[in-house]
Amino acid sequence: MTFGARLRQAMDDRGQLCVGIDPHAALLSAWGLGDDAAGLERFSRTVVEALADRVAVLKPQAAFFERFGSRGVAVLEQSVAEARAAGALVVMDAKRGDIGSTMAAYSEAFLAESSPLFSDALTVSPYLGFGSLQPAVDLARKNGCGLFALALTSNPEGASVQRAVGAQGRTVAQSILDQLAAENAGAQPLGSFGAVVGATLSDVDEADLMINGPLLAPGVGAQGATMADIPRVFGAAARNVVPSVSRDVLKHGPSVQALRDAAERFVEEIRAAVPA
């Protein structure tokens, strides 16, 4: 199955929720863990144990693992494998973007079946030109994986680039969304090439979001958006949205049951906001 088909099934079965695995120093401390590789491993294994068999998507933030060097990357490898084995789709939040053979190497790190970091999807940056992502697009298509390209992000600084208007009269973000739509043309039930679009935004043209692909939506919870905002921001595309929540779930650890309860509350909120 393609990533888009597997994601559609997972969201239908488990609800439209992505939980980030973001083991930053303050959160490790709040859990009573050391800011070291041992604390990182305990944190990550607890999140996977609590959530991988019940939420649609887990999204490890690679930077929080990479900061511990090879030991942190080993924990990331373990977390990806265990999460996927338990049935969650893993979106690696690495935001890779480069050109040529370097982009191909980044893609192989996360989208090649032989890699210990093999994930269901990868976040990518298209700001060296959408065409620079072609090695990732090709490998994702070959291996049944997906991509999420940064398009309209929730950070205010992003607008200076993403809202800039090009020579053809389209914003940079609209151009990215249009090219994702082209990659998803004809895909059923959902394309595998998605966009990152912030749930905190208030002026998105929902027509631009009809890309026949998933929309990863950060900003719910700590950044101020709620699940009730999803249909307002995304309109007719709301059913394809994967709201991403990190701190507002993770703050309930290290209790496995408290993590599960927090995730379930968000799942029920998005089901109420976006009926099937």
**CA angle (184, 112, 194) in 5-degree steps:** 25
Positive or negative torsion for Cα 22, 146, 160, 224:
negative
Cα–Cα dist 66/162, whole Å: 27
Residues 6+ apart with CB under 8 A from 214: 4, 7, 146, 148, 190, 191, 194, 240, 241, 242
95 is catalytic: yes
254 upstream amide cis, omega within 30 of 0: yes
Cα–Cα dist 225/223, whole Å: 6
Dihedral of the alpha carbons of 141, 21, 54, 229, in degrees to the nearest 10: -90
How many residues belong to the chain? 276
Catalytic residue among 59, 95, 142, 251: 95
As annotated, the active-site residues are 95
